[in-house]
Structure 1
Amino acid sequence: DVTKESDVIKCFGWINDTIGAIHILINNAGVLRNTHFNDGNLEDWKCLFDTNVLAVGMCTKQALRSMEAHGINDGHIVNINSIRSRYQSMKDGSSWYSASKHAVGVLTDGLRRELASKKSRIKVSSLNPGGVLTEIFEKGHIHRDPEAPALTAKDVADSVIHVIGTPPNVQISELTIIPVQQYNM
């Protein structure tokens, strides 16, 4: 469970003991909730921030510790964020989700600056996809228009490969991908 620090520490400990150094971290866990200010519930708000923000921080911290312990100075951290990190949805009830994704964008930029100030060559990227056909809508009990243009998980994976495949002197700090014909940012 990425929202539990003890689980995250245990997982990364297993990776270090069994596999070895972490060179690349892809933070991809995320939840979506349709929640409002007036009648929204605190548990939904906490769930959004625990999963979408704090889990990213905890996993990143453990990956950086692994990289440091193994002398990895050219790793890569990719945060699968959302177009909502840049554009508020027109749909009612999406403010809390958008706020959590905006926080990830700010933290990603902050980490990149922190590492650069230490002369680290570890790259940090934010990948901001538009609508992707995954179970996030179902699990969040949110209706998704089946006719709306959407990306696939493979589209996102291909973009990750593009981001991590750059030469050592090139860092894609942020990449936004949307399906052709997506118009309601």
Structure 2
Amino acid sequence: MIEPDLDGRTVLVTGSAKGLGRAFTLACAGRGADVAVHYHTSEADAREVADRARERGADATTVRGDVTDPAEVERLFDGVERDLGSIDVLVNNVGTFAPVHWEEMAFEEWKRVLETNLDGTYLCSKRALPAMREGEYGRIVNVGYASSEKGMVNPKNAPYFMAKSSVLMFTRMLAADTQNDGVTVNAVSPYVVENSAEFPDELPRGRPASYEDVIQALFTFLEEDSDYISGTNVEVDGGWLPEDV
């Protein structure tokens, strides 16, 4: 596995109390980073992740906030900066998934899926950038979804696919806008991951992606020598090609 040296770096992964966000955070802690464990409602889980990170030698803090609320985003970033210093690496991992046909989905649920996936990525990136630009170093990695840049859409969970496609457009725009600032902006887009709520009947290579598979892609972007890789999306899907794209 690629093993970037993150000693002295501060990492914030949104939605890091459970699942893939938790795995990202602990992997970064194991590579020398200080980590902020973000949660919205899962406080006990976040504290457990912070304890595990400290066991790996990291300084760690927990921060609560709704990433769709500008005021709460400001508070959670203030908390990280107070406890750990400026954020060097931001992983925008939060994103609600609602497998419901669009006609049966309540408007509030529709909005929530769009807001957590897209608005949260926008708000956190915007808040992180000034310090990254000032320090002439930053890594932003957005979590997408495999094949969403191919125009994939499905009546079941339509706002999720729409939001993830927009996240990739945002990634490319932000990469272009930060190309002279020492900041890179990229995306990692898995298909089915080991913690997914349900698996399709057939999976590429006969299995879901492991956390380690997705971490491998993340770490590629965090390597010190990867400063010319920006605006890129890596699909971690085992070669999956859906029939409807």
Which TM bucket (shorter chain)?
A: 0.7 to 0.9
Question: Does the 8 Å CA contact 1:125/1:163 hold for their aligned counterparts?
Answer: yes
Letter in 1 for 2:210: T
Normalised TM-score (structure 1): 0.82
Q: How far apart, CA to CA, are the structure 2 residues paired with 1:62 and 1:89? A: 30
Listed as ranges, the matches of 1:30-49 within 5 Å are: 30-49=95-114
Gaps of 5+ in 1: 138-142
Q: How far apart, CA to CA, are the structure 2 residues paired with 1:168 and 1:74? A: 12
The alignment partner of 2:103 has SS state of: coil
RMSD over equivalenced CA pairs, Å: 2.2
Question: Does the 8 Å CA contact 1:84/1:98 hold for their aligned counterparts?
Answer: no
Listed as ranges, the matches of 1:1-185 within 5 Å are: 1-68=66-133, 71-87=134-150, 92-116=155-179, 119-135=180-196, 137=197, 143-145=198-200, 148=203, 149-165=207-223, 167-172=225-230, 173-179=232-238, 182-184=240-242
Q: How far apart, CA to CA, are the structure 2 residues paired with 1:171 and 1:8? A: 27
Larger relative contact order (C-alpha < 8 A, sep ≥ 6)? Answer: 1
Number of aligned residues: 174
The alignment partner of 2:86 has SS state of: coil
Question: Does the 8 Å CA contact 2:148/2:165 hold for their aligned counterparts?
Answer: yes
Gaps of 5+ in 2: 1-65
The alignment partner of 2:187 has SS state of: strand
Report which of the two has the higher share of strand. 2
Question: Does the 8 Å CA contact 2:147/2:235 hold for their aligned counterparts?
Answer: no
Question: Does the 8 Å CA contact 2:132/2:183 hold for their aligned counterparts?
Answer: no
Q: How far apart, CA to CA, are the structure 2 residues paired with 1:56 and 1:8? A: 11
Q: CA-to-partner distance for each residue in 1:137-171, whole Å, 9 max, x for gaps?
A: 3xxxxx43376331022221221112211515421
Letter in 1 for 2:115: D
Once the 2 structures are TM-superposed, how far is the Cα of residue 103 of structure 1 from its aligned partner? 0.7
User: Percent same amino acid among aligned pairs?
Assistant: 22
The change in CA–CA distance for 1:29 and 1:82 in structure 2 (over 3 A counts) is same
